[in-house]
Amino acid sequence: MTLIVRSATSSDLATIARFNTALARETEQRALDGAVLQAGIAAVLNDPDKGRYFIAEEFGRPVGQLMVTTEWSDWRNSYFWWLQSVYVIERARRRGVFHALYNHVESLLKTEPGVCGIRLRVERANEGAQQTYATVGLSDSKYVVMEVDRSGAARVDENGADAR
């Protein structure tokens, strides 16, 4: 598999929205509000302070993505980069797409002053993803993520799954 990883541009909005919709459905059985999702993606694409998307392409066609956001750590006096919206299309899984995306981000991290590490959240039941993430050196941080989500952007899907 010959992969190219590049920064996303505004022309990738529809692809990112399609990938995020599939990601929410596959991993959390959630249906996303398309208008909110597209506005959120556009906000990132138009403001690098919100985050950055990266696209993996095979023969010029997108096969995967991830987004990087930042979190300031006062304990470390530096930033963590959070990997979010990680998605690889089904036919390209287990073929190095995530590794290519991760390696690209890690190489950028090494050149950025003030960045101390990489973090990501993964659904507890998504053991396949956890195994993939472990192959690049990511490990269980022993933290539990808790939240209050008042956005209403995720809703019950057509199968009646909890939208949270």
Alpha-carbon distance 27 to 163, whole Å? Answer: 12
Domain boundaries, the chain: 3-156
In angstroms, the Cα distances linking 8 to 16, 44, 56, 114, 141 are 9, 10, 9, 23, 29
| Mean pLDDT, range 133-143, rounded to an integer | 84
Alpha-carbon distance 138 to 26, whole Å? Answer: 22
**If pLDDT is split at 50, 70 and 90, which confidence band does 28 have?**
confident
**If pLDDT is split at 50, 70 and 90, which confidence band does 156 have?**
very low
- Per-residue model confidence as pLDDT tens digits over 49-105: 999 999 999 999 999 999 999 999 999 999 999 999 999 999 999 999 999 999 999
**If pLDDT is split at 50, 70 and 90, which confidence band does 14 have?**
very high
pLDDT value of position 143? 81
pLDDT value of position 145? 79
pLDDT of 153 higher than 90: no
Helices (H), ranges, the chain: 13-28, 34-46, 97-111, 127-134
CATH of domain 3-156: 3.40.630.30
Alpha-carbon distance 135 to 13, whole Å? Answer: 29
